[in-house]
Each structure stands twice: as structure tokens, then as C-alpha cells.
Amino acid sequence: MTEKLQPTSLSMEHAARLLSAVGGRTVTAEMIARDTDSGAPVNSDGTLNLVHYAAWLAKAHAHGS
């Protein structure tokens, strides 16, 4: 049985692999952790919602962070 990814509840490792695969550049779990340390939203269980994370990245990029 294959595991289905839930884009609203990914571990930082799964999110990094997914973003690396679709984004054309390497993303690491450490990079995501730095973002969450800087205020990127995480779910209460420590997982990442890709929609919320993407919105946070867009906002941070727009403000030159």
C-alpha cells in the first residue's frame, strides 16, 4: 500500500522532498525549520500545511525577507 501525502499535514522532511521535486532547487528540512523559527506557521502537531507555508513565503518574499 502506498502512503498518501496530505498537503495540509506534512513533516518537514516530506515537505522538503516534495518542494525539492517540484521547485527545481533543493529544499532541506533545515531550511524549513529556519523558516518556522522565523515565524512560518506550523500545525499544533509540528507538521506543515503547504498552503499556509506558501502564503507565508510569498508574504516574506514581498517584504524582502
Cβ proximity of 45 and 1 under 8 Å: no
In the structure, how many helices (H) and strands (E) does the chain have? 3, 0
Q: How far is CA 26 from the centre of its chain?
A: 12
How far apart (Å, rounded) are the C-alpha atoms in residues 5 and 17?
11
| Domain definitions of the chain by residue range | 12-62
Q: Can you give the pTM of this predicted structure? A: 0.84
The chain-wide mean pLDDT, for the chain, equals 92
22-40: pLDDT as tens digits:
988 999 999 999 999 999 9
Q: Is 1 a residue whose pLDDT tops 70?
A: no
H or E segment and range at residue 15: helix 12-23
As a whole number, mean pLDDT of residues 39-62 equals 96
Question: What pLDDT digit, counting tens, does each position of 9-26 carry?
Answer: 999 999 999 999 998 899
